[in-house]
Amino acid sequence: MSVRAETRVQPAPRVVPVVHSKLIQAQTRLAWILLAPSLVVVAGVALVPLLQTVYQSFTNARLASERAVSFVGLQNYINLLQDADFLHSIWVTVQFTVITVAIEFLVGLGIAMVVNSNFKGRGFMRAAMLVPWAIITVVSAQMWKLMYNDVYGVFNDLLVDKLHILSSNIAWVSDPATSIPAIAAVDIWKTTPFVALLLLAGLQVIPGDIYEAARVDGASPIQQFLRLTLPLLRPAVVVTMIFRTLDSLRVFDVFYVMFGSRPDTMTMAIYAQQNIVTFSLMGYGSSVAIAIFVIIGIFVIAYVTLLKVEAS
Amino acid sequence: MPANIVAAAKPFAGQKIVYYGGNPDAGALEATATAQFSKDTGIQVTFTQRPNDSTESLALFQRFFQGQSSDIDAMSIDVVWPGVLAQHLVDLSQAMGDDTKQHYPGIIANNTVNGKLVAMPFFSDFGMLYYRTDLLQKYGFSKAPLTWDELGMQAQKIVDGEKAANPNFAGMVFQGKAYEGLTCDALEWIASSGGGTIVDASTNKVTVNNPQAVAILNLIKSWIGTVVPRGVTSYGEEEARTAFGGGNAAFMRNWPYAYTPSQAADSPIKGKFDIAPLPANPPGKPSGTIGGWGQAVSKYSKSPDAAIQYVRYVTSAPIQTWRAIAGGFVPTIQTVAEDAQVNAVLPYLKSVANVERVGRPAGVYGDNYNQASTAFFQGVSQILGGQDAAQVLPGVQQKLQTLLA
């Protein structure tokens, strides 16, 4: 018997207009009606203030001031581009983001892989590792600030008095050279568990038998990691990186508690807060907020384009 | 209780006013005074605690005023806010009349914006030098230093001697963090060295960039790392107080509030310290930045007259005497400050009576005060961080002059 290979040319698919039945139309209408209240709330709470901020960024509004509010067009944005303080704050924020996200990712991946494997007390470990993430940021930042204190802090006590590794106390928070590493350590301690958790979720989805198959084929653990784990983990990695980068770019609480309004460690969010709350400059402050929004948007677009996740 | 004020207030009995004031420490005393006022006069006062942080309190009041709300009648305001809030406050000069003459003229002037008295002085604060009497004696100094150079010299000798036993011993601690407190400290350094008071009110010109200011700021900068710990650039009032109060510093600049906890029964330095005016480099005179709070009335209030009587009552001499004795609040009335009972509880008042009280340029900057103060303290913060004052001050001067326009 011979096998006939048939090649048939499929006719080009016709574009058929989709006509829903009356039932589906009624259901769609019902869906919109049921969703309407939520949409109204979201619009009121999120959309309206956003549009208001955009509008205010084109004015010179001031809180509780007798001076008349006038439209200044793009003047706020032009001033912003020349504002040395704002440009420096972008640099501080980006620096902080790159350091923390990179280290958190590497350490978090390691922790996730460890916790993914089978060992006694694994369940307890998974819960316990989340404790730093659970503590309120302001509280943990204040704790760390006390530990970093140059007179009575724990770190200096250990390094100088007990272990004699250093000869004199270091002012971790005040010394410009150690400020960024010090605060990066605080953020890494706090957020690595969160990264580990997200990556763990991604790891759990990977079926175990492919590792068996790879082992049978003679792949080393490193090859398994690079060729199997990482590619299959990519969706989780993208989500984690986007989350962490967005959060880092908007960082406020830990910097505010540790440094206050110190000029050389101001982040974008602190600069916005200073303008809106401390200086009551609603117009200029709004333009700072919109600028932050745009900068973060650029990062998100970059991520999604560079780490294209194809639909499987 | 002040009989004449009670009599003047009785006609308004039955009206209701809302008063915002008192951070958690001061709240108890203010609540008592408010209740007494209500009992004496029949005016119902609702006492609401404002946020602890003064920047947040300012934001809160501004939001009330933005909405022209009548939900707030009287409030206590920081000494640097008259300029920012003047447009929303009632002019008290007519209603207070001769009562204003009792208070220190400097504070009344600070609270007057464009001829309008917008707040009555409630209690006063000013910077003082705290020093360890036992250590001065141990190292052979007969009295507290009179000039900044002398303080540096004394502090260095004490640090050299104490370092062996206590490696974290600091010569001097003060408020070096980049915040409003640094503006207060730096203003004292500059004013007491003949460097002016940031802005010359009579000519409306910024004067901060001058040789005396450069000299004193560079002097303080040279102490960082030797006589003053590096960490002082993250110190607020509390950090300085705990360093000095724990026995780890020879000198401290702080507000009067630090006196009472340091004299508490369990304080390590009880009885071992005293207070003196801050040093001065001639031609400057010993100075203290004016702090403290005042009482004001909102112009959107529905019962302004009742609120005015409340303000008169709580800023009167009998109430100030009671607050000084019960809570250690420094009075703003000269006769109260000289009262024997008050001096028994606050023995340092006599030694700092002649200190020149200098005000921050809040009135002249008005709405822009926070920006101006930020430009100033950020410049000083850069100097303390190591930059040369001669390089930093011209930029600060220029920023401040632009904001004045």
Is A22 within 8 Å of chain B by CB? no
Is B65 within 8 Å of chain A by CB? yes
Query: Who contacts A107 (Cβ-Cβ below 8 Å, separation ≥6)?
Result: A188, A192, A195, A196
B223 in any annotated domain = yes
Mean pLDDT to the nearest integer, B352-380: 86
- Which chain A residue has the Cα nearest residue B368? A279
Do B77 and B91 touch, CB atoms closer than 8 A? no
| Chain B residues inside the 8 Å CB shell of A259 | 178, 234
Q: Which of A65, A169, A278 sits opposite B367 (nearest CB)?
A: A65
User: Are residues B311 and B235 part of one domain?
Assistant: no
Upstream peptide bond of A132 is cis (omega within 30 degrees of 0): no
Cβ within 8 Å, pair A174-B370: no
B123 in any annotated domain = no
User: Are residues B342 and B272 part of one domain?
Assistant: no
| Chain A residues inside the 8 Å CB shell of B84 | 280
Hey, is B150 helix, strand or coil?
helix
In angstroms, the separation between the Cα of residue A78 and the nearest Cα of chain B is 18
Domains and CATH numbers, chain A: 22-56 (no CATH), 83-306 (1.10.3720.10)
| Confidence band for B23, pLDDT divided at 50, 70 and 90 | low
| Chain A residues inside the 8 Å CB shell of B229 | 150-151, 169, 171
What's the pLDDT score for residue A153?
Answer: 86
User: Are residues B306 and B201 part of one domain?
Assistant: no
User: Are residues B205 and B147 part of one domain?
Assistant: yes
User: Are residues B295 and B197 part of one domain?
Assistant: no
B7 in any annotated domain = yes
Do B312 and B294 touch, CB atoms closer than 8 A? no
| Confidence band for B216, pLDDT divided at 50, 70 and 90 | very high
Is B171 within 8 Å of chain A by CB? no
- Kind of pairing between the strands at B291-297 and B120-125: antiparallel
| Confidence band for A312, pLDDT divided at 50, 70 and 90 | very low
| Confidence band for A4, pLDDT divided at 50, 70 and 90 | low
Beta strands in B126-233 (DSSP E): 128-132, 170-173, 199-200, 205-206
**Residue A20 vs residue A104, higher pLDDT:** A104
What's the pLDDT score for residue A224?
Answer: 87
Q: What is the ipTM of this complex?
A: 0.72
Q: Which two tokens stand for residue B232?
A: 């002082």
How far apart CA A92 and CA A258 sit, in angstroms, is 15
CATH number at residue B330: 3.40.190.10
Over residues A39-85, the pLDDT tens digits come to 999 999 999 999 999 999 998 888 877 777 888 888 889 989 988 88
Reply yes or no on whether the pLDDT at B377 is more than 70: yes
User: Are residues B107 and B34 part of one domain?
Assistant: yes
User: Which domain, by its residues, includes B100?
Assistant: 3-118+291-351
Q: What are the CA-CA distances from residue B256 to residues B182, B262, B292 (Å)?
A: 16, 11, 10
B285 in any annotated domain = yes
How far apart CA B316 and CA B8 sit, in angstroms, is 13
B233 in any annotated domain = yes
H or E element that contains B19: strand B16-21
> How many Cβ atoms sit within 10 Å of the Cβ of residue B251?
29
Mean pLDDT to the nearest integer, B190-197: 92
- Look at chain B and report how many structural domains it folds into: 2
In angstroms, the separation between the Cα of residue A197 and the nearest Cα of chain B is 35
How far apart CA B381 and CA A174 sit, in angstroms, is 11
Cβ within 8 Å, pair B178-A261: yes
- Which chain B residue has the Cα nearest residue A152? B168
Q: Which of B66, B88, B168 sits opposite A151 (nearest CB)?
A: B168
Reply yes or no on whether the pLDDT at A2 is more than 60: no
Is B302 within 8 Å of chain A by CB? no
Q: Which two tokens stand for residue A289?
A: 């907020």
What's the pLDDT score for residue B220?
Answer: 95
User: Are residues B247 and B179 part of one domain?
Assistant: yes
Q: Which one of B308, B323, B351 terminates a domain?
A: B351
The interface residues of chain B toward chain A in range 114-153, judged by CB-CB distance below 8 A, are none
What's the burial of A228, exposed, middle or buried (CB within 10 Å: 0-12/13-18/19+)? middle
- Kind of pairing between the strands at B170-173 and B120-125: unpaired
Which amino acid does the sequence have at A171? Answer: A
User: Are residues B227 and B239 part of one domain?
Assistant: yes
Mutate one of A166, A174, A271, A288 to test the B interface: name it (highest B CB count within 10 A): A174
> What end-to-end distance do the CA atoms of chain A give, in Å?
38
Q: Which one of B327, B351, B375 terminates a domain?
A: B351
The interface residues of chain B toward chain A in range 224-253, judged by CB-CB distance below 8 A, are 229-234, 239, 243, 246, 248
Is B354 within 8 Å of chain A by CB? no
Q: Which one of B324, B351, B378 terminates a domain?
A: B351
Is B222 within 8 Å of chain A by CB? no
| Chain B residues inside the 8 Å CB shell of A164 | none
User: Are residues B398 and B255 part of one domain?
Assistant: yes
Cβ within 8 Å, pair A151-B229: yes
User: Are residues B283 and B134 part of one domain?
Assistant: yes
User: Are residues B297 and B194 part of one domain?
Assistant: no
**Residue B219 vs residue A69, higher pLDDT:** B219
Report the percentage of chain B scoring pLDDT > 70. Answer: 98
- Kind of pairing between the strands at B199-200 and B205-206: antiparallel
pTM: 0.78
User: Are residues B72 and B17 part of one domain?
Assistant: yes
In angstroms, the separation between the Cα of residue B65 and the nearest Cα of chain A is 6
Do B254 and B237 touch, CB atoms closer than 8 A? yes
> A180-184, A242-246, B49-53, B244-248: which range is least confident on average?
B49-53
